[in-house]
Amino acid sequence: MTQSTPTPFNRILLTGAAGGLGKVLRETLRPYANVLRLSDIADMAPAAGPHEEVQRCDLADKAAVHQLVEGVDAIVHFGGVSTEHSFEDILGPNICGTFHIYEAARRHGVKRVIFASSNHVIGFYRQDETIDASAVKRPDSYYGLSKSYGEDLASFYFDRYGIETVSIRIGSSFPEAQNRRMLDTWLSYDDLTQLIERGLFTPNVGHTVVYGVSNNANTWWDNRLANHLGYAPQDSSEPFRAKVEAQPMPAADDPLLVYQGGAFVASGPFGDQ
């Protein structure tokens, strides 16, 4: 980290705590809260440890979400479906669920949210284009549409109620870059944690959209409009380049090599007979 650890919040809520990134953040967010409240619809193991609370919750259940948010000072919202599915599968957790999070934040006086948005909000831009957060959104999937809606909720709840949000358009956050696209979109766990830290503690963020990407040799995303966060990624996908480039080269028209959203632009449709 480039900054010293700030004074922690009393209680931070982490949704999606049983997911891939949620399990990582359960460990790395500990310094930033006296109590970390962990929530997911799935079982969370291990049981609550010191300075942890575990509360199972279906984000589609408005009353349960309102109970979940009571007594928290900030929300790190990573809950929901994280891959492409039918609209019906996305609707409850990602669209209704994010609305429920913001309504509960309003009712309980929570003034800071970190929203796990996604690069799939702009997935139909081509990989030979460079864009910043002012670019018109071009969702590539029902999943991308749900994250676009979440960003709109964040903007509305700031303008209407003063709830500040940092929406992180996460690229590809895995232990290592797994394919050619990820050489450009990879986000290390340490850089993700730094980005959440800056989102939690930087004053006067309003609604800030930032691309969640490490210091890779090449990227399609310009974070100049989020410079006030002071995000300084420390990691790079370069150590994985030789392994990735040893893989067979996809066809030139493969979405993996054409669109910023990769394979998501071609997923579905679902339910066709």
Catalytic residue IDs: 143
Full 3-state SS string of 202-248 = CCCCCEEEEEECCCCCCCCECCHHHHHHCCCCCCCCHHHHHHHHCCC
Number of H helices, E strands in the chain: 9, 7
Is the CB of residue 84 less than 8 Å from the CB of residue 264? yes
Using alpha carbons, select from 114, 107, 228, 106 the residue that is nearest to residue 165. 114
Using alpha carbons, select from 109, 22, 33, 99 the residue that is nearest to residue 69. 109
- Dihedral sign of CA atoms 84, 154, 13, 229 in order: positive
> Residue 116 belongs to what H/E stretch?
strand 112-118
